[in-house]
Amino acid sequence: MNYILLTGGAGYIGSHTALALLRAGYQVISFDNYSNSSATALKRVEKLAGGNIICLSGDIRDEAALSAVFRQYPVAAVIHFAGLKAVGESTEQPLHYYDNNVGGTITLCRVMREFNVKKLVFSSSATVYGDAKTVPIDETAPRSATNPYGQSKLMIEHILADLVNAEPDWGITLLRYFNPVGADSSGQIGEDPNGIPNNLMPFISQVAVGKRDKLNIFGNDYPTADGTGVRDYIHVVDLAAGHLKALQYLENHQGIEAINLGTGTGYSVLEMVNAFVRVNQVEVPYQIAPRRPGDIASCFARPDKALKLLGWQAEKTLADMVRDSWHWQRQNPNGYAENK
Ligand code: NAD
Ligand code: WQD
């Protein structure tokens, strides 16, 4: 298993995984339409790793372009990051989200089958658990979705399960990420959201760097210890390592497995803000705002299955997460763009 195709390889999680793969000696092919990323990320990864990535620009819905990749390179496995991920936008543009995420995945699988490449790691999400009744959440918890983005992940999980059912020689891992944060410790690559960040950590970082006045904390009346929402934040470098373990697992396993990638520990919004301030010695002004529609009180993983099946567990601390997020933001106040 040497050539690994990363769809969406230039994105936040894809670029960190590309770095880990290069360092582990894999040949990395990135196939990305750059709808939410910059080729600069991959240039920086190459520099950090001292190796080359085959960087291809293309859309996973373009069957001919994807086929050309498989014709040219001996792809052993695919890590499928490509997808749109903004929850609010998905509600406004459901057809676009279903077309891109679900349609794109079907096209990818069709091409993979044509070239007899049947090892796939899929970027799923804790969003498939909807508003879980109990925490920590294990992989057998009921699944539901409250928005088209989440629905697209759920649909893809079902489609891939049906595929394995029909063709048992596929090996598929559904990695259900919890809340990815942080950046490579070099500060060279990181999360670069377009416009106003939806997610907590990039918002905190942009307040700290002076791009935004203050953080709105969405609700302090949840049934949690301090009233603010609790999530399982996971360092993106730990997440990247999980993908390498999933690839190794697929070398000698067929069938389909859903696996949580989380730390197993939940932190509240206030705990995140306080850690960021304490570790980085910066100010993060905030105010309490109304709850954000669709938010849940508490969500964190039971990560035992990842340890048992993949031999993976998160190693980074909360201090690592907030320090590395800040390091990236401070060095790249405008992300990858020159003047954003
Ligand atoms: P990202 O937006 O940074 O990366 C996704 C990449 O896919 C981008 O580079 C984008 O340009 C590319 N892309 C999108 N549609 C494409 C298409 N049709 N063809 C080719 N490339 C396309 O997002 P990320 O945070 O790195 O997330 C990666 C994956 O993990 C996504 O599928 C996302 O849904 C999933 N996920 C992310 C999170 C999170 O909070 N970041 C949590 C759970 C799951
Ligand atoms: C975390 C906490 C907010 C911003 C989302 C997607 C999910 C997954 C990860 C892809 C919550 C609070 C946030 C702010 C705040 N993505 N918050 N002020 O909502 O857990 O998950 O990203 O799969 O599908 O739904 O992450 O970072 O948006 O919020 O108070 O400005 O921070 O209310 O408690 P979330 P988040």
Which tens digit of pLDDT belongs to each residue from 220-266?
A: 999 999 999 999 999 999 999 999 999 999 999 999 999 999 999 99
> pLDDT for 272-304, tens place per residue?
999 999 999 999 999 999 999 999 999 999 999
- H-run or E-run covering 80: strand 75-80
Ligand 2 pocket test, candidate residues 231, 263, 296, 299, most atoms within 8 A of CB: 231
* 80 CB-near residues (< 8 Å, 6+ apart): 7, 8, 105, 108, 120, 121, 122, 123
C-alpha span between 300 and 292 (Å, rounded): 19
Please report the pLDDT score of residue 46 as a whole number: 98
Q: What separation in Å is there between the alpha carbon of 199 and the centre of ligand 2?
A: 5
The response to whether residue 14 sits with its C-beta less than 6 Å from ligand 1 reads yes
Q: Which of 26, 97, 98, 149 is catalytic?
A: 149
- Give the rounded percent of residues in the chain with a pLDDT score beyond 90: 98
Atom of ligand 2 nearest to the CA of 87: 25
Please report the pLDDT score of residue 307 as a whole number: 98
Q: Whose CA is nearest to atom 33 of ligand 1?
A: 85
Q: Whose CA is nearest to atom 3 of ligand 1?
A: 11
Task: Indicate whether 326 pLDDT > 90.
Answer: yes
Q: What is the DSSP string of 250-267?
A: HHT--EEEEEEES-S--E
Q: What separation in Å is there between the alpha carbon of 198 and the centre of ligand 2?
A: 7
* Bridge partners, residue 216, by sequence: 287
Please report the pLDDT score of residue 338 as a whole number: 60
Please report the pLDDT score of residue 222 as a whole number: 98
The response to whether residue 125 sits with its C-beta less than 6 Å from ligand 1 reads yes
Q: What separation in Å is there between the alpha carbon of 301 and the centre of ligand 2?
A: 15
Task: Indicate whether 113 pLDDT > 90.
Answer: yes
Please report the pLDDT score of residue 339 as a whole number: 44
Is 30 in contact with 14 (CB distance < 8 Å)? yes
CA max distance for the chain: 56
The response to whether residue 198 sits with its C-beta less than 6 Å from ligand 2 reads yes
Let me know if 149 is a catalytic residue: yes
Q: What separation in Å is there between the alpha carbon of 205 and the centre of ligand 2?
A: 14
Task: Indicate whether 340 pLDDT > 60.
Answer: no
Can you identify the CATH homologous superfamily of domain 3-181+233-263+300-314? NAD(P)-binding Rossmann-like Domain (3.40.50.720)
> pLDDT for 82-92, tens place per residue?
999 999 999 99
The response to whether residue 130 sits with its C-beta less than 6 Å from ligand 1 reads no
C-alpha span between 88 and 147 (Å, rounded): 8
Please report the pLDDT score of residue 279 as a whole number: 98
What mean pLDDT is reported for the chain? 97
